[in-house]
Structure 1
Amino acid sequence: MSVSASASTETPAKPVRRIPAVPFWAQIVAGLVLGVVLGWVTRSYDVQWLYTTLDKIGHIFVQLLKLAVAPLVFFAILVSITNLRKVNNAARLASRTLLWFMITSLIAVAIGLVIGLITNPGAGTGLTPKDGQKPQHAGSWLDFLTGIIPTDVITPFTQLNVLQIVFMAAVAGIAALKLGDKAQPILTLSESVLELLQKALWWVIRLAPLGTVGLIGYAIADYGWDLIGKYATFTADVYIGCALVLFGVYPLLLATVAKVNPVQFFKGAWPAIQLAFVSRSSVGTMPVTVKVTERLGVPKEYTSFAVPFGATTKMDGCAAIYPALAAIFIAQIFDVQLSVGDYLLIAFVSVIGSAATAGLTGATVMLTLTLSTLGLPLEGVGLLMAIDPVLDMMRTATNVAGQALVPVVVAAREKILDLDAYNSASGSPVDDEYGVRDAEQKVTLPATA
């Protein structure tokens, strides 16, 4: 008896098809281009529903970022201070970080003053003092100094007073260090809450391309090129000043002080700089800034201190270049002559008062603080509010670049920078967070007979 077996043949699966994944940076660029196009269409053809839609999209994106600001700042500062106990020479690192914050701020404000004196941004604008109006909230040194200490623990969170939140977090962090092991349960909980907040913020950050469409589109539709034309010199000054710091001063410091390749820094830090440009929020960008700084070889324990600290106090764009140029611009509109002493005061305010910007969109508080110190009319703030969002994009990008730069410089000088990690840093942490690495997603198609 013979048994015949039919040989079964299996159809081999088709070759794996590779679907290209769009990198995060490309999504942001696409959002910028689409936003400009939609903004132009809205303004040119008066498409009211599109105008409202762009406004809502941008507004919701910014609100989602702000939603996480208060708890994120509190737990980030608290955890970062306690993490310093894991770092050798923590006090030295903290003091060097603050010193370099001040040095770069002085350089930035000097560049702003020089550009303002050369270009006279307030001349020939057609604007008059009657075009300005006082802001609803103005900053002063008394408010700044007394406002650091909150009256209760709830109001700073409900009113989003970041400076007071930083104060409370610093006190809590120092107290936890003093308590030692007794504070460990609180620290463990704080670290978990911080990770939870960062994970939620990553989801918001992932929406940045869509938010970019709304923010850029609304800016073009609302302000238009005509308004920008009135502020052409001032706008160009802000962008040129920030670009000189971003692409001139920072690379020079990296090459001469840190003795590392500046191009490699931008390859590693660009995702954070790019997100800062469209989100206009240093704090909202902070999770990405932390990741790119770690990728650049800065020890995690030091990064967790330096970046949150910088996100609330290190503002070369908003607190140095911008108020210097704005003060000159407003003085020229109101026909006020500034003296050498006034320029020194601007530098002093920029270095000491930068925490007033608080890492949020806009720099109104810092501007009013500068004007009140110089005795310039606060009505000048109203002259700049119309154009502020357009300026804030470049200012915030410069802020965030500086917040990543200083830890790299300090780590390099203290010889704790991982040079291998620095020289290989590239790609976007946003892509990595979602399993996309400038890469391709593999999809295996089912076998067919």
Structure 2
Amino acid sequence: MSVSTNTQLKRSVRVPFWAQILIGLALGVLLGWLARGQDLSWLVTTLEKVGGTFVGLLKLAVAPLVFFAILVSITNLRKVNNAARLASRTLLWFMITSLIAVAIGLVIGLVTNPGAGTGLTPADGAEPEHTGSWIDFLTGIVPTDVITPFTELNVLQIVFMAAVAGIAALQLGEKAQPILTLSESVLELLQKALWWVIRLAPIGTAGLIGNAIATYGWDLIGKYATFTADIYVGCLLVLFGVYPTLLATVAKVNPVQFFKGAWPAIQLAFVSRSSVGTMPLTQKVTERLGVPKEYASFAVPFGATTKMDGCAAIYPAIAAIFVAQIFDVPLGVGDYLLIAFVSVVGSAATAGLTGATVMLTLTLSTLGLPMEGVGLLLAIDPILDMIRTATNVAGQALVPVVVSAREGLLDRKAYDSVHASPVDETPESDETPEVEDARPVAAAV
């Protein structure tokens, strides 16, 4: 049998990555339901270990990945014309989309009253071990040493150090070239290692979803039914309403093509619940959508640590209303404006990690709401975090496309020709590395 025939046969039997994720989801639901219904503690433990190991592998590279990605992205701006303009436009659209998202969250919360009729009381809450305030946020940006941010995974401080190093490298010019070359090589190494982890996503999905169902069951969702529905509806409105509208009216491109290209990153974000863990794939799909590589290498890492429409806009808006209703604290127009302000300015506090507890505590402390309200939401958080992170990552890919289109940098031919996800492509042979680079993730099952 010829080599080409073998290649065609492999392509014909390979299961697409999105289908692998769906299979993992279905398997996880089945195993979780079985473990809970039959009280199989060993299966619960297995699911917990499988899901925890997958997330742990993603987190393993977070600290160095963020540092080198930010450093390299800042220095790459020197290769782009009008770099300052692009950076300012990127930040502006981050803020615009965050304002739209928080407005949607506030409207949904005010219409549905998620805290009413839940049966929950202030006594059900518990103050979290770690809370966020503006003083903590501002003073916590600057690290006291260069080691602790990496050992404690303080992403905000890592971003600060990387930004300082990147700006210093730009000032040094040619003298910094050896460091930049090393940084680019380390970043490529970390991304390659993460591709291997991403291939395990279907298996990790089964463990994460199965453990969630086995641990929490459906009773928990019942208590938080309105709140859970609000978060999902809000995120879906932004994901499939706001984003396509911006693409069609502002960028003047076909929204369907965007989702064709960005879907692998969105679905991985849904499973992994980590914007930073998904970042290499997000950058790859953004480049495939026609965004210049030099600009994408800046915008995506920047977005992965600051652009959080799900975690930092929709979620804290609805959650603040929920907590206020549980504790019977009235909110006024000024409070809603404060929520919007915190969502836009404080979104960096989430720093691309799983969960949005820090952002929620920052919002509650700004409004003067009880921190015990956070304890009411911790149990349901993993279920909510999936759709929040998917929304985050979609926004992180969207803004570079919008900015590139408006600045005349978008390769519209590449955008219009996107037809398959990079996780579903297979190189013709091992002797074509440039083709392999075009599809960083192969089939996992």
TM (norm. structure 2) is 0.94
d(CA) in 1 for partners of 2:86, 2:292? 12
Partner residue of 2:297? 304
1:402 aligned partner, one-letter code: G
How far 1:430 sits from its partner (Å)? 2.8
> In the superposition, relative to structure 1, how do residues 76 and 217 fare at CA in structure 2: closer, same or farther (>3 Å)?
same
For residues 7-55 of structure 1, what are the alpha-carbon distances to aligned partners after superposition, in whole Å with 9 as ceiling and x for unaligned?
Answer: xxxx999x76824111211111110110011111111111111000000
d(CA) in 2 for partners of 1:160, 1:147? 13
Question: Superposed, which structure 2 residues align to 1:272-287 within 5 Å?
Answer: 272-287=265-280
1:18 aligns with 2:37: no
Partner residue of 2:421? 428
Partner residue of 1:408? 401
Question: Superposed, which structure 2 residues align to 1:160-309 within 5 Å?
Answer: 160-309=153-302
d(CA) in 2 for partners of 1:263, 1:229? 34
How far 1:431 sits from its partner (Å)? 3.4
TM (norm. structure 1) is 0.93
Please give the root-mean-square deviation of Cα atoms over the aligned residues, in Å. 1.7
User: Are the aligned partners of 2:260 and 2:421 in contact in 1 as well (CA < 8 Å)?
Assistant: no
Partner residue of 2:148? 155
For residues 164-186 of structure 1, what are the alpha-carbon distances to aligned partners after superposition, in whole Å with 9 as ceiling and x for unaligned?
Answer: 00000000000000000000000
Other structure's SS at 1:395 match: helix
1:84 aligns with 2:86: no
1:384 aligns with 2:377: yes
d(CA) in 1 for partners of 2:412, 2:421? 19
Partner residue of 1:375? 368
d(CA) in 1 for partners of 2:389, 2:355? 9
d(CA) in 1 for partners of 2:199, 2:305? 22
For residues 363-387 of structure 1, what are the alpha-carbon distances to aligned partners after superposition, in whole Å with 9 as ceiling and x for unaligned?
Answer: 0000000000000000000000000
Q: 2:41 aligns with which of 37, 48, 53?
A: 48
Ranked by relative contact order (alpha carbons within 8 Å, sequence separation 6 or more), the top structure is 1
1:314 aligns with 2:307: yes
1:100 aligned partner, one-letter code: W
d(CA) in 1 for partners of 2:368, 2:18? 43
For residues 342-375 of structure 1, what are the alpha-carbon distances to aligned partners after superposition, in whole Å with 9 as ceiling and x for unaligned?
Answer: 0000000000000000101100000000000000
> In the superposition, relative to structure 1, how do residues 227 and 327 fare at CA in structure 2: closer, same or farther (>3 Å)?
same
Deviates more, 1:298-307 or 1:427-436: 427-436
How far 1:434 sits from its partner (Å)? 7.4
User: Are the aligned partners of 1:202 and 1:430 in contact in 2 as well (CA < 8 Å)?
Assistant: no
Q: Aligned residues: percent identity? A: 83
Q: 1:139 aligns with which of 132, 138, 157?
A: 132
User: Are the aligned partners of 1:288 and 1:430 in contact in 2 as well (CA < 8 Å)?
Assistant: no
For residues 297-330 of structure 1, what are the alpha-carbon distances to aligned partners after superposition, in whole Å with 9 as ceiling and x for unaligned?
Answer: 0000000000000000000000000000000000
Partner residue of 2:100? 107
d(CA) in 2 for partners of 1:290, 1:429? 11
User: Are the aligned partners of 1:25 and 1:428 in contact in 2 as well (CA < 8 Å)?
Assistant: no
For residues 206-231 of structure 1, what are the alpha-carbon distances to aligned partners after superposition, in whole Å with 9 as ceiling and x for unaligned?
Answer: 11111000000001111111110000
1:92 aligned partner, one-letter code: R
Partner residue of 1:340? 333
How far 1:428 sits from its partner (Å)? 2.4
For residues 222-244 of structure 1, what are the alpha-carbon distances to aligned partners after superposition, in whole Å with 9 as ceiling and x for unaligned?
Answer: 11111100000000000000000
For residues 254-279 of structure 1, what are the alpha-carbon distances to aligned partners after superposition, in whole Å with 9 as ceiling and x for unaligned?
Answer: 00000000011000000000000000
* Structure 1: unaligned runs, 5 residues or longer: 1-10, 442-449
Aligned residues: 428
d(CA) in 2 for partners of 1:220, 1:414? 46
Partner residue of 2:323? 330
Partner residue of 1:8? none
* Structure 2: unaligned runs, 5 residues or longer: 429-435
d(CA) in 2 for partners of 1:89, 1:430? 33
d(CA) in 2 for partners of 1:329, 1:261? 37
How far 1:289 sits from its partner (Å)? 0.2
Other structure's SS at 1:18 match: helix
d(CA) in 2 for partners of 1:315, 1:278? 16
2:61 aligned partner, one-letter code: A
Partner residue of 1:5? none
1:37 aligns with 2:30: yes
User: Are the aligned partners of 2:18 and 2:267 in contact in 1 as well (CA < 8 Å)?
Assistant: yes
How far 1:61 sits from its partner (Å)? 0.7
d(CA) in 2 for partners of 1:427, 1:376? 47
1:369 aligned partner, one-letter code: L
For residues 270-298 of structure 1, what are the alpha-carbon distances to aligned partners after superposition, in whole Å with 9 as ceiling and x for unaligned?
Answer: 00000000000000000100000000000
d(CA) in 2 for partners of 1:117, 1:378? 21
User: Are the aligned partners of 2:114 and 2:322 in contact in 1 as well (CA < 8 Å)?
Assistant: yes
Other structure's SS at 2:416 match: helix
d(CA) in 2 for partners of 1:196, 1:427? 25
d(CA) in 2 for partners of 1:81, 1:40? 47
d(CA) in 1 for partners of 2:51, 2:422? 23
Give 1 or 2 for the bigger CA radius of gyration: 1
1:131 aligned partner, one-letter code: D
Partner residue of 2:432? none
